[in-house]
Amino acid sequence: MTAESYLNHPNFGLLYRICRLGDGSELYMTLYAHRLFFHVHYLAESLEIEPVSRNQARTLVEMHLRELRRLGKTEEYQKLQQVEKQM
Q: Tens digits of per-residue pLDDT, 3-61?
A: 788 988 888 889 999 888 877 899 999 988 778 999 999 888 888 899 999 999 999 99
For residue 28, which of 59, 50, 10 has the smallest C-alpha distance? 50
- pTM, entire model: 0.82
Report DSSP letters for 8-77, one per residue: EETTTEEEEEEEE-TTSEEEEEESSSTT-EEEEEE-SSSEEEEEE-HHHHHHHHHHHHHHHHHHT-HHHH
By C-alpha distance, which of 13, 86, 2, 81 is closest to 49? Answer: 13
Q: Which helix (H) or strand (E) holds 7?
A: strand 6-9
Which domains can be identified in the chain, with CATH numbers?
6-86 (2.30.30.660)
pLDDT-derived band of residue 2, with 50, 70 and 90 as boundaries? Answer: low
